[in-house]
Amino acid sequence: MSDAPASTRAGLETRSLTVRYGGLVANSDVSITVRPGEVVGLIGPNGAGKTTFVDAVTGFTQCEGEILLNGTPIQELPPHERRASGLSRTWQSGELFGNLSVAENLLVAARKGGWRTLARDLFGRRKADAGRDLVENALAVVGLEGVTDTLARDLTLGQQKLVGVARALAGGSEVLLLDEPAAGLDSMESQAFASRVRAIAQGGENGAGDGDGPGILLIDHDMSLVLSVCDVVNVLEFGKHIFSGTPAEARTDPTVVAAYLGAPVEATHV
């Protein structure tokens, strides 16, 4: 292990992560690193194992191999403790709390229950609109306004995905795993979303852009989005990690082109 200071902001690292569903190997020896401030792409056709990778890293499915967050192994932790140590995610299908308002969705992530919370709820003093700032900030980061008090299930799919991102950011995040967050956005919204992703990674939440933002793993089908926004791109195929490199390398790499892009093009929708 390296010394402590270097590893405190080492981000997420998986080593030979392998997931089996019965006979199917959904992830085989996947080693991916996401450093703070970096946007890492993960692409691959449907069923390649992208969601499985996120599920394994965040503790929603059994896996073999090692998962390190800032140098500390976390694969034995239950999902909520992984979240507490700074690993957050969104879900491909949104998975908002449909019967709660957008603000409450974010507050769930920011203010957790427990015995101490219970005691404070019952007997402590309470501020009128605690957490309101946090909600407004998180929504501003993803570019959503005027929906604070809407029920989550009444949002459009695109808005739900954005609230999902805001929820993953609320309460602090070291590494953010985004599972197809842009599906459901039109191409204009997609472009806007891409620049927001960059801004978030650069710590743009506070407008500082000083590079202390979270590392982001971005899964998407939109090749132009991924190639334009990511520092590093990883490709999965049938659970195998067939490529890792810069977008420029990806565009010309024969395996990627053959397996996924079909033709060496600037941008295609796959």
Partner 1 sequence: MQTYVQFAILGLGLGAIYIGLGTGLLLVHRATGIINFAQGAMAMWGAYVFAQLRLDGTLTFPIGSIDLGRRPTVLVSALIGLLMAVLLGLVAHYLVFRPVRHAPVLAQVVVSVALMITIQALVVLRFGPNNIKVDSILPEGTWSLLGVEVSSREILMALIMAALSGVVWAYMRFTRAGVATRAASENERAAVLMGFSPDRLAAVAQVIASVLGTIAVTLGSALTGLNPENYTLLVVPALAVLLVARMESIGIVVVAAIVLGAFQSIIGLLVTKPWWPVWAQSGFDQIVPFAVVMVILFVLGRRLPSRGSLQTIRLPDVAIPKLKLVPTLILLAGGVAALALTTGSYRFGITTSIIVMLLALSYVVLTGYLGQISLAQGAFAGAAGFTLSKVTTGWGIPFPLSIILCGLVAAALGMLVALPAFRIRGAQLAIVTIAAALAIERFVFNNYSLTPPEGNPIAAATLFGINLSVREGRDLSRLSFSLMVLVVAAILVFLFIRLASGDTGRTFLAVRANERAAASSGINVRMTKLIGFGISAFIAGIAGCLIGLSRGQLSAESFTVFTGLQILAVAYLGGITSVGGAVVAGILGPLGIIYVLLRGVFDLGAYYPLISGLGLIITAILNPVGIAGATREQVAWVRRKLSRTPPAEPRSDATTATPTPKEPSRV
Ligand X SMILES: Nc1ncnc2c1ncn2[C@@H]1O[C@H](COP(=O)(O)OP(=O)(O)O)[C@@H](O)[C@H]1O
Point out which residues bind ligand X (CB under 6 A): 21, 24, 26, 44, 46-52
Greatest distance between any 2 Cα atoms in the chain? 65
Q: Which is nearer to ligand X, 26 or 142 (CB)?
A: 26
Q: Which is nearer to partner 1, 18 or 92 (CB)?
A: 92
Using CB under 8 A as the binding rule, the residues of this chain from 76 to 95 that contact partner 1 are 78-80, 83-84, 88-89, 91, 93, 95
Query: Per-residue x/- mask for partner 1, residues 46 to 75, rule CB under 8 A?
Result: ------------xxx---------------
The answer to whether 59 and 225 have CB atoms below 8 angstroms apart is no
Q: How many residues does the chain have?
A: 270
Rounded CA Rg of the chain: 19
Tell me which residue of 67, 88, 49, 66 sits closest to 175, measured CA to CA.
88
- DSSP-assigned states of every residue in 95-161: ---TTSBHHHHHHHHHS--SHHHHHHHHHS---TTTTHHHHHHHHHHHT--S-TTSBGGGS-HHHHH
Residue 243 touches which member of ligand X, partner 1, Mg ion, none, C-beta under 5-8 Å by kind: none
Q: How far is the CB of 46 from Mg ion (least distance, A)?
A: 7
Cα separations (Å) of 142 from 40, 147, 159?
Answer: 18, 12, 10
The answer to whether 148 and 102 have CB atoms below 8 angstroms apart is yes
Q: Does 97 bind partner 1 (CB under 8 A)?
A: yes
Residue 47 touches which member of Mg ion, partner 1, ligand X, none, C-beta under 5-8 Å by kind: ligand X
Helices vs. strands in the chain: H and E counts, helices first: 11, 11
Q: Does 52 bind Mg ion (CB under 5 A)?
A: no
Q: Which is nearer to ligand X, 47 or 184 (CB)?
A: 47
Q: What are phi and psi of 30, to 5 degrees?
A: -90, 120
Q: How far is the CB of 238 from ligand X (least distance, A)?
A: 9
Using CB under 5 A as the binding rule, the residues of this chain from 63 to 92 that contact Mg ion are 92
Give the rounded distance of the alpha carbon of 268 from its chain centre.
Answer: 23
Q: Which is nearer to partner 1, 78 or 211 (CB)?
A: 78
Q: Which is nearer to ligand X, 21 or 210 (CB)?
A: 21
Structure tokens at 118: 């219970």
Q: How far is the CB of 93 from ligand X (least distance, A)?
A: 11
Using CB under 8 A as the binding rule, the residues of this chain from 209 to 268 that contact partner 1 are none
| Angle CA 181–182–186, to nearest 5 | 155
203 in the Ramachandran plot: left (φ > 0), alpha (ψ -120 to 50) or beta? Answer: left
H or E stretch including 217? strand 215-219
Q: Does 51 bind Mg ion (CB under 5 A)?
A: yes
Q: Which is nearer to ligand X, 7 or 18 (CB)?
A: 18
Using CB under 8 A as the binding rule, the residues of this chain from 100 to 119 that contact partner 1 are 100, 104, 107-109, 111-115, 117-118
Chain positions contacting Mg ion, by CB under 5 A: 51, 92
Which residues of this chain interact with partner 1, rule CB under 8 A?
A: 58-60, 78-80, 83-84, 88-89, 91, 93, 95-100, 104, 107-109, 111-115, 117-118, 120-122, 126, 150-151, 153-154, 167, 171
